[in-house]
């Protein structure tokens, strides 16, 4: 068996391998093996110099007239010592592009082998003719670099096929601040495919951009969409509720109940819809159940307390407040609590609750009014009078206060004060 040709010994010998390279039509068969021996020996001994690698890469660039097969084999050998060199990867890309092997050229970018995307490469990328699936992957990779070739993007988004990469590309466009292009592409895709992910993306984007008219027309497409996740249903319900489309929200909630049945956010939205439609009892039961599982956000905590009070479920109202004492920084919650205590005859507790609220909300007339009611009910006439007097001076003239002051002034024979009070009397709703 003949011995394999040995590699060159010196840089001069290396140069001699490429003597008369301008005349080559094919790559000499011996060259690759001798060159591989030289590079492997230099790499293992640590004697290979950067100048030699630069020389070889330069030679490869000058041999671009060779066939892709020969050029690729040469690049593969050089990459023994220079793996992933971007000049070589660019050379491969351009050779593939010129040869019409666009899908293989695109794969160099998709696979991460070619990462230095200069103007020449981007120009060629813009002219690639590849299947939609390859194009989707390519554009997804380019988006990660912040590169968005519009012509190719439109080509992809006009395709009726669903590609998971579309959402990633839209997210990248949005993040890059290209929201107009992002919105246009997303709406184009939605015309051609009823994809729930793209539908949810469009709704969210339009809401963020406060485009109410476009949102109103887009959300009506929901009946054509086959939703498959809780998040998709959540976006739909939140959008319908924000647009006050309560009937449609109710229809959607009924249709997708199996998808969202354990989702707290959607259950809260469902309760909101029920309240708007007048079904307060059912809404309250839903919210009360969520409250027992600590699944209410702050505004909804206040809502369920109000619902309990409005339905005269005073003990439940008080229990809900006790379970969430931090919510007592709300003046409305304090009002519900004090009034519930009054309605259940817990006057001493009502008095203490009033003092706490009055200290926190010193200028709130509604809280002051409750203080007047407490004092009058427990027979603390002096305190009731002082509070009623203060409220009257601040323009609060509802019947209980006026009647109380008239009774007080009658007892002390201050008829002039009664006349003055009646002259000033007007109903002021709290």
Instruction: Return the sign of the alpha-carbon dihedral for residues 188, 189, 194, 198.
Output: negative
Encode pLDDT of 275-330 as tens digits. 888 889 988 998 998 888 888 888 889 999 999 999 999 999 999 999 988 999 99
Mean pLDDT, the chain, integer: 84
DSSP code for 59 = H
* Whole-angstrom distance, CA of residue 124 vs CA of residue 93: 9
In this prediction, residue 1 carries a pLDDT of 34
Residues in the chain: 430
* Whole-angstrom distance, CA of residue 48 vs CA of residue 32: 17
In this prediction, residue 396 carries a pLDDT of 63
Encode pLDDT of 359-369 as tens digits. 999 888 888 88
- Taking residues 407-428, report their average pLDDT: 59
* Whole-angstrom distance, CA of residue 62 vs CA of residue 39: 20
Question: Distance of CA 238 to CAs 201, 214, 233, 241, Å?
Answer: 13, 16, 9, 5
Split at pLDDT 50, 70, 90, the class of 413 is low
Split at pLDDT 50, 70, 90, the class of 356 is very high
């199996």: which residue's tokens? 258
**DSSP readout, 290-348?**
HHHTT---HHHHHHHHHHHHHTT-HHHHHHHHHH-GGGGGSHHHHHHHHHHHHHTT-HH
**Cut 0.75: pTM above it:** no
The answer to whether 321 and 337 have CB atoms below 8 angstroms apart is: yes
Which is higher by pLDDT, 259 or 380? 259
- For the CA atoms of the chain, what is the radius of gyration? 39
Outline where DSSP puts E strands in 163-295.
none
Outline where DSSP puts E strands in 319-368.
none
Instruction: Give the ranges where 145-195 is alpha helix by DSSP (H).
Output: 150-157, 164-175, 179-192
- Taking residues 375-390, report their average pLDDT: 77
How many Cα atoms sit within 13 Å of 51 on the Cβ side? 6
Q: Tokens for 71?
A: 């050029």
Instruction: Return the sign of the alpha-carbon dihedral for residues 75, 77, 79, 81.
Output: negative
Does residue 9 carry a pLDDT above 60?
Answer: no
DSSP code for 3 = P
Question: Distance of CA 114 to CAs 105, 148, 425, Å?
Answer: 9, 17, 85
Does residue 197 carry a pLDDT above 90?
Answer: yes
End-to-end CA separation in angstroms for the chain? 108
Percent of the chain with pLDDT over 70: 88
Of 143-147, 177-181, 274-278, 426-430, the least confident:
426-430
* Whole-angstrom distance, CA of residue 28 vs CA of residue 45: 27
Q: Which of 248, 308, 302, 296 is nearest to 273 (CA)?
A: 248
* Whole-angstrom distance, CA of residue 430 vs CA of residue 427: 9
Kind and range of the H or E element at 389? helix 381-393
In this prediction, residue 379 carries a pLDDT of 78
* Whole-angstrom distance, CA of residue 311 vs CA of residue 296: 20
Q: Tokens for 5?
A: 């040709």
* Whole-angstrom distance, CA of residue 232 vs CA of residue 229: 5
DSSP code for 8 = P
Q: Which of 72, 59, 77, 79 is nearest to 101 (CA)?
A: 72
- Taking residues 197-226, report their average pLDDT: 94
Q: Tokens for 196?
A: 């729930």
Q: Which of 373, 394, 395, 392 is nearest to 406 (CA)?
A: 392
Q: Decide: helix, strand or coil at residue 292.
A: helix
Does residue 74 carry a pLDDT above 60?
Answer: yes
The answer to whether 341 and 350 have CB atoms below 8 angstroms apart is: yes
In this prediction, residue 6 carries a pLDDT of 46
Per domain, the residue ranges of the chain are 383-430
Question: Distance of CA 198 to CAs 32, 90, 193, 318, 394, Å?
Answer: 51, 35, 9, 45, 57
């Amino acid at each position: 068996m003949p011995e394999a040709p040995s590699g060159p010994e010196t840089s001069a010998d290396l140069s001699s391998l490429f003597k008369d390279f301008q005349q080559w039509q094919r790559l000499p068969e011996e060259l690759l093996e001798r060159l591989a021996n030289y590079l492997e020996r230099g790499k293992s001994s640590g004697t290979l110099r950067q100048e030699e690698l630069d020389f070889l890469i330069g030679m490869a660039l000058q041999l671009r007239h060779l066939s892709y097969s020969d050029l690729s084999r040469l690049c593969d050998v050089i990459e023994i010592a220079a793996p992933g060199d971007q000049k070589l990867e660019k050379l491969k890309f351009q050779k593939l592009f010129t040869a019409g092997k666009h899908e293989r050229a695109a794969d160099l970018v998709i696979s991460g082998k070619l990462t230095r995307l200069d103007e020449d490469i981007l120009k060629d990328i813009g002219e690639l003719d590849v299947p939609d699936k390859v194009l989707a992957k390519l554009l997804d990779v380019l988006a990660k670099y912040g590169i968005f070739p519009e012509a190719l993007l439109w080509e992809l988004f006009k395709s009726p096929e669903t590609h998971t990469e579309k959402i990633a590309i839209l997210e990248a466009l949005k993040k890059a601040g290209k929201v107009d292009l992002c919105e246009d592409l997303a709406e184009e895709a939605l015309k051609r495919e009823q994809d729930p992910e793209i539908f949810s993306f469009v709704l969210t984007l339009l809401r963020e951009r406060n485009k109410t008219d476009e949102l109103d027309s887009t959300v009506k497409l929901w009946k054509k969409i086959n939703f498959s996740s809780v998040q998709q249903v959540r976006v739909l319900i939140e959008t319908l509720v924000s647009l006050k489309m309560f009937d449609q929200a109710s229809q959607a909630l009924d249709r997708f109940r199996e998808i969202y049945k354990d989702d707290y956010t959607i259950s809260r939205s469902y309760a909101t819809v029920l309240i708007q439609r007048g079904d307060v009892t059912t809404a309250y039961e839903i919210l009360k159940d969520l409250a027992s599982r600590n699944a209410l956000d702050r505004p909804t905590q206040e809502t369920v307390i109000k619902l309990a009070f409005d339905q005269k479920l005073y003990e439940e109202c008080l229990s809900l407040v006790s379970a969430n004492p931090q919510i007592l920084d709300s003046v409305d919650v304090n009002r519900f609590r004090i009034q519930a205590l009054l309605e259940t005859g817990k006057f001493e507790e009502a008095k203490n609750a009033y003092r706490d609220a009055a200290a926190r909300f010193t200028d709130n007339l509604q809280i002051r009014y409750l203080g007047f009611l407490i004092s009058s009910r427990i027979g603390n006439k002096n305190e009731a009078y002082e509070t009623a007097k203060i409220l009257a001076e601040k323009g609060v003239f509802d019947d209980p206060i006026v009647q109380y002051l008239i009774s007080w002034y009658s007892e002390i024979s201050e008829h002039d004060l009664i006349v003055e009070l009646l002259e000033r009397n007007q109903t002021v709703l709290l």
